[in-house]
Amino acid sequence: MNLDLLALNPIALNLGGLEIHWYGIIIALGALVGVIMAIREAKRRHLDPDNILDLVLYGVPIALVGARLYYVIFELPFYMANPSEIIKIWHGGIAIYGGLIAAFIVLLVLCKKRNISPWLMLDIAAPSVLLGQIVGRWGNFMNQEAFGAKTSLSFLQSLHLPHFIIEQMYINGAYRQPTFLYESIGNLIGLILILTLRNKKHLFKRGEIFLAYLIWYPTVRFFVEGMRTDSLYILPGVRVSQMLSLVLFVVAVILFIYRRKKKNEPWYNEL
């Protein structure tokens, strides 16, 4: 039996030649739930929810461009030789860190123009972004991408995974490490911790929820990235995402310690 034929179809619908991919549906669903969660938190923090909607309106398309540009830069020899492929995002090739950097810039500009604390906006947005990353990895699952090295059927069964996940991890004639799942679960644990703790009084100062995200996610990504087989490299043997994860982790820890020592920083739950 050809186990590759048992893989889930990445195309959800075909409407007169227009293919709707599960990847896009899953990403859109994660974004929608994340926006709803951010709007609810914005209301609780007495921030106009329209600011969240405007951030999404401007941030999402710019983040998509940033994610693609980031990928293209680190695969520049290929795209210099095939310039027509640069805009063909449907052929694959976006990087979450590029999207996050672009969205971060949009947020700073928006907050500057509307006189909103960027730390407060980042605190509200961070859990939603993490949720989007959790859900988005299942889009990678449907596309059979973002997987790890070859492994055995017995190893996957030892993880007590559902059969459909095991079947989907049979890629190019071999079973693969489900790194998409490791990252999704790791981020889910972080999201649960943040949502559980953020409403406790005098626990987080303003900006520290975002910094907690900036510590947690790079930590998860650093270890999972080391298991993947499709990494971008800045130098031979040096993975871009691992280096950036390390930099973000160090910067976040330093900022966390520095801001914690400042006496005039308000608590997140202070209205």
Annotated binding site: 137
Closest of 47, 8, 11 to residue 268, by C-alpha: 47
Using DSSP, state whether 65 is helix, strand or coil.
helix
Q: What angle do CA 140, 171, 243 make, to 5 degrees?
A: 50
DSSP string, 113-170: HHT--HHHHHHHHHHHHHHHHHHHHHHHHHHT-S-BSEE-HHHHHHTT--HHHHHHTE
In 3D, which of 20, 268, 241, 47 has the Cα closest to residue 133?
A: 241
**Strands 150-151 and 170-171, bridge-based pairing:** unpaired
Q: Which tokens in the block code for residue 210?
A: 């975002």
Report the candidate in 164, 163, 171, 162 with the shortest Cα–Cα distance to residue 143. Answer: 171
User: Cα–Cα distances in Å, from 100 out to 29, 41, 93, 114?
Assistant: 18, 20, 15, 21
Helix (H, G, I), strand (E, B) or coil at 227: coil
CA atoms of 44 and 19, how far apart (whole Å): 40
Asked whether 148 and 176 are in contact (CB, 8 A), the reply is yes
